[in-house]
Structure 1
Amino acid sequence: MITMRAVIEVPMFDSRAALPWPVEPLAPGSWLVLNADCADRQIGLFVAASANRIDVASPGGRYEVVDALLAEELLIVAGGVQVGDTRTGTTVVPGCCSGLADWREWAQLFTGGSPWLGHDPGPEVEVVGDDLRVWQDGSSNRHRGHWADRRVDLPSGALAPLLMRVQRDLVGFLDALAEWAARAGLGQRGTALVKAVDQSLAITAPLDLLAS
């Protein structure tokens, strides 16, 4: 079975800084899948990752972190869409500098375009007959080295329902984020945070799948 999941890359946090809420202890460089089933520690990790490169006012508690996020014109968090094949156990992950907001780039395939999936090693989508071949390394060296031949093949007709599933997962995550914010006592800050995440990541806006 082919899967597409919205993910963020876990950053390296400053070991000297205390995070204002519990977070899932995932290794830096690993991937956190976002959906309605995310637990509080996973949601806390997402919010902390979103604020990781933002200046936070002292004393750096939960209110200051959320206020810093709300002061940003656009929230940026590393990630994107992870494509997997459960039959082969192969997974292709977003490349360096890809952001979760780029998940809609995949819709360009419906109009003959090609999504930008990050670089190093430069994931790339190749059209092969009626299939889409998603390479982890889209360069001329794809058949050599660490990423040799890592790819996932999916029928073109499967793309629309898979992208709609990604959007449903992100909408479900927004609901989980709202519930987490309420439990964290963020009040109106929590409501504003959910809105900011939705707008920055273009989650609930209509998904234009022209060929679906």
Structure 2
Amino acid sequence: MTMTPVLERWSGDCPFWPVAPGPHLVAVPCRAAPEQVGAVLWALVAPAVTDDDLSAIATSAAEAIEAYLAAGDNGYAAGGLRVSDGNVVIDPGCCVGLDEWREWGSVLHGQPPYLGHDPDVFLEDRGAVLRLWQHVAAVPPGDADLAGPHVDIPRAQFPGLLRGVRRDLTGLLAELDGWARAAVPGLAGPLVAAVDARLAVTAPLEP
């Protein structure tokens, strides 16, 4: 079983740096080639530097990064956590962000996190397991007969999976630092700090 941070790939092409091609959801790797870092960064930066028709409103990589930094906490990181177990893959729904990944832990305290709609992803507390449904608006507690794709996460393994997400995101920060020092050296420190803050990476995880 794996839990992987993912970001929604931006529709428009990146005119500022090389971006690795791939599917709609970009997995955030702990270790990444420069073009993979570019894809992740473009997913974060693009909303701040593209118009409604997806045309870029910045003129350089540095200007694009500066626009992202200026967005402050308004920067939205569409995506979330992907959970895979065997042939079953549960992706995040719409209108949820990777910046909300820590809210998954609230299920251990009786409060299921919001995981998006279309599909309506739902995390249900079933005691010894946490059942993650791909597409239900609401799950009746204990309804074992409800059909649909799902993954059963052993409750004892859940905190370790979240720690793994934090390790992946921490690894991204290290890769991003190297990328930024080569591409926009004067902005490397502020960029890494901004991504750290907006994705809530290095703060300790609550028990």
TM-score by length of 1: 0.85
The 8 Å contact of residues 123 and 134 in structure 1, kept in 2 or not, is answered as yes
Matched, 1:43 2:37: yes
Offset, 1:66: 0.6
Counterpart CA distance in 2 for 1:78 and 1:4 is: 17
Offset, 1:36: 2.2
Report the identity percentage. 37
Q: Which amino acid aligns with 1:80?
A: G
SS in 1 for 2:47: coil
Counterpart CA distance in 1 for 2:111 and 2:57 is: 46
Matches within 5 A, 1:108-123: 108-123=106-121
Counterpart CA distance in 2 for 1:94 and 1:58 is: 29
Q: Which amino acid aligns with 2:206?
A: D
Counterpart CA distance in 1 for 2:95 and 2:8 is: 10
Aligned residue number for residue 152 of structure 1: 151
The 8 Å contact of residues 77 and 99 in structure 1, kept in 2 or not, is answered as yes
SS in 2 for 1:52: helix
Offset, 1:31: 1.7
Q: 1:25 aligns with which of 1, 5, 21?
A: 21
The 8 Å contact of residues 170 and 203 in structure 1, kept in 2 or not, is answered as yes
Offset, 1:128: 2.3
Aligned residue number for residue 63 of structure 2: 64
Task: State the number of aligned residues.
Answer: 194
Offset, 1:51: 2.0
Matched, 1:81 2:81: yes
Offset, 1:188: 2.8
Counterpart CA distance in 1 for 2:125 and 2:58 is: 52
Q: Which amino acid aligns with 2:35?
A: R
SS in 1 for 2:101: helix
Counterpart CA distance in 1 for 2:118 and 2:175 is: 32
Deviates more, 1:186-195 or 1:46-55: 46-55
Counterpart CA distance in 2 for 1:83 and 1:55 is: 30
Q: Which amino acid aligns with 2:78?
A: A
Counterpart CA distance in 1 for 2:39 and 2:82 is: 18
Offset, 1:23: 0.2
Counterpart CA distance in 2 for 1:58 and 1:128 is: 48
Query: Unmatched 5+ residue regions in structure 1?
Result: 142-147
Aligned residue number for residue 199 of structure 1: 197
TM-score by length of 2: 0.87
Counterpart CA distance in 2 for 1:161 and 1:73 is: 30
Aligned residue number for residue 145 of structure 1: none
Offset, 1:58: 5.9
Aligned residue number for residue 53 of structure 1: 47
Matches within 5 A, 1:169-188: 169-184=168-183, 186-188=184-186
SS in 2 for 1:60: coil
